[in-house]
Amino acid sequence: MMALVCRRGVAPGLFLVLASAVFTAGLCGGMSSAVAAEAVSPAPGGAIVVHLDQARIMKLPERTATVVIGNPLIADAVVQSGGVVVITAKSYGATNLVALDRTGTTLFDSPIQVVTPADKVVVVYRGVDRETYSCMPKCERRTTIGDSPAYFTANLMQIGTFGTLAQGQAPK
């Protein structure tokens, strides 16, 4: 433990600067890996913000051996070569991404927040039924979590049939 004493009239401003430096150095010397991981946080608040149906690419800390997503129903992460991770938003909500080294030490821990789509979206309510349209530049049907089951399923069926045809296979 260290005590700092200042006599009156001996540069109190300088004393405060030196005291702050000594105090900060004492805190940083014992910094845990979790606190050190915050230093590489991608956003000022620490949250990784990803728009629904989009992906975000970021660089992981060196020595990352394992990547964990708290709730894979909200977001997914795929590690690429060179320590690059691709985070894909899957559903609205919040989860977290944790990067561990080979010994299990946490190198990075950050919340992931999945937010509304980035494109221009129009939501139409027909009573309790909901339909979502992407309007860039003209409005087209969009498959979005929260749409009414009939609308959602019809869109998925069309997308599935289109994908099958695009691959040169006969629809089932």
Question: Is the pTM for the entire model greater than 0.85?
Answer: no
Per-residue pLDDT tens over the stretch 75-121: 999 999 888 999 999 999 999 999 999 999 999 999 999 998 888 89
Q: How many domains does the chain have?
A: 2
pLDDT at residue 15 greater than cutoff 90: no
Tell me: do 107 and 37 sit in the same domain. yes
Say how many residues make up the chain. 172
Q: Taking the chain, what is the end-to-end CA distance rounded to the nearest angstrom?
A: 75
pLDDT at residue 65 greater than cutoff 80: yes
163 three-class SS:
helix
- What is the span of the domain harbouring residue 130? 121-161
Tell me: do 102 and 150 sit in the same domain. no
Q: Are 133 and 119 in contact (CB under 8 A)?
A: no
Per-residue pLDDT tens over the stretch 124-170: 999 999 999 999 889 999 988 899 999 999 999 999 999 999 998 76
Q: List, in sequence order, every beta strand (DSSP E) within 65-157.
A: 66-69, 75-80, 84-89, 93-100, 106-115, 121-126, 129-135, 139-142
- Residue 29 has, within 13 A of its CA and on its CB side, a CA count of 6
CATH of the domain at 40: 2.60.40.1080
Q: Flag whether 26 is in a domain.
A: no
